[in-house]
Amino acid sequence: MRQRIVVKIGSSSLTADEGGLERSKVGFLADELASLHASGHDVLLVTSGAVAAGFRSIGYAVRPKLVHEKQAAAAVGQALLMQAYHEAFGSHGISVAQILLTRPDFGNRSRALNARRTIEELLKQRVIPIFNENDTVAVDELKFGENDTLSAQTANLVKADGLYILTDMDGLYTADPRKTPDAEKIGRVDVISEDLYRIASGAGSAVGTGGMRSKIEAARIAMQGGIPTFIGKVAKPGDLRAAVAGDGRGTYFSSSLHSLSAKKQWIGFLSVPQGRIHVDAGAESALLHGGKSLLPAGIVSVEGEFHPGDVVEVAGPDGRTLGRGVTHYASWQVTAVAKLGTEEAMKRVEVSRVEVIHRDEWVATPILKEAGSHE
């Protein structure tokens, strides 16, 4: 069956320990992706590696630390990276396209929809789109794990059938197996909990920026968009096909959610929240379990400045994020009606509707406290 597959490749899978591209690594991964492409699947690649590929060419002895140095290295390295992919996929008769994105590209709904239309046309023409963070200009986005998040956002944007995040570890363990010999591998995760974040390790190599924690966060974003995710190792021919077939060397993150509408996909996973509303326990229960809208009576406080039509986060009494929604109130109006009943709130401010966030424009994205993993 034809599937739409998003594959994320990190810097350590493409470069030498001391930096610079290893063409043999690029070629191997292109072979794996080309095999899926030849089977009729739609293949989209999210790649890291621009900074790692470019810093030695620009004259740095080690990976740079300062933002402007990273941006300079990325400007050189992105060209080298795409050249390597062009040659590697060209040997299979496959054309590739470069798509550089930043978080605001997803945050603006019209820009996100335009990007999706372009991607759809590329896939129709059997071109493999290759995505990367636009490191040269994205000052705020040059940070830990950003391309893991980018892969999940991309998977949600194109409504992928699966997200495959490749790493040098063969999945998630109860502890770092390089330091704890008796660490146990987790074969499947049904619910991402705070426990899983606690056991996630830091960055695993000198040339990469993302660790297991950022990959778990990416899996959470994808799962809540209805997209199952695989985090694991692809080191031998056929490993990627095995992963897609459900027999890969890694951890599978299942998803029982139905596909969300394009609007809810944007609200929950692609938008950039403009503020934060804190609610009490009653409102938390109504939003997460009752299928209700957010009313003024359940609001405790407000952070940030926002306007009607903006997306905001909602947090529970313990500070955990419960989800996102489109607010019908400005921030000052929410502050004015917090804890008030419906009639009194409508007298206090002039708004078209009493719901601060309507349930039709709400997406729950909570992290549960209890663990939810299985062998």
Q: Are 331 and 349 in contact (CB under 8 A)?
A: no
Q: Are 193 and 369 in contact (CB under 8 A)?
A: yes
Which class for 367: exposed (0-12), middle (13-18), buried (19 or more C-beta within 10 A)? middle
Helix (H) or strand (E) holding 279: strand 276-279
Which class for 48: exposed (0-12), middle (13-18), buried (19 or more C-beta within 10 A)? buried
Q: What does the alpha-carbon distance between residue 199 and residue 202 come to, in Å, rounded to a whole number?
A: 10
- The one-character DSSP state at 142 is S
162: CB partners within 8 A, 6+ apart: 3, 4, 5, 6, 155, 227, 228, 229, 230, 244
The verdict on pTM exceeding 0.75 is yes
Q: What does the alpha-carbon distance between residue 302 and residue 336 come to, in Å, rounded to a whole number?
A: 10
Q: What does the alpha-carbon distance between residue 272 and residue 199 come to, in Å, rounded to a whole number?
A: 28
- The per-residue pLDDT for 195 is 79
Cα atoms found within 13 Å of the Cα of residue 231, Cβ hemisphere only: 29
Q: Is 313 helix (H, G, I), strand (E, B) or coil?
A: strand
- The per-residue pLDDT for 146 is 62
Both tokens of 96, joined, read 């590739």
Name 371's bridge partners.
Answer: none
Q: What are phi and psi of 243, to 5 degrees?
A: -60, -45
Tens of pLDDT, residue by residue over 132-169, are 988 666 655 434 346 898 999 999 999 999 999 999 88
The letter for the amino acid at 180 is T
Helices and strands in the chain, H and E counts? 13, 16
Flag residues of the chain having pLDDT under 50: 141-145, 202-210, 371-375
Domains and CATH numbers, the chain: 4-261 (3.40.1160.10), 273-364 (2.30.130.10)
The letter for the amino acid at 358 is H
Q: What does the alpha-carbon distance between residue 165 and residue 147 come to, in Å, rounded to a whole number?
A: 10
The letter for the amino acid at 372 is G
80: CB partners within 8 A, 6+ apart: 21, 53, 54, 57
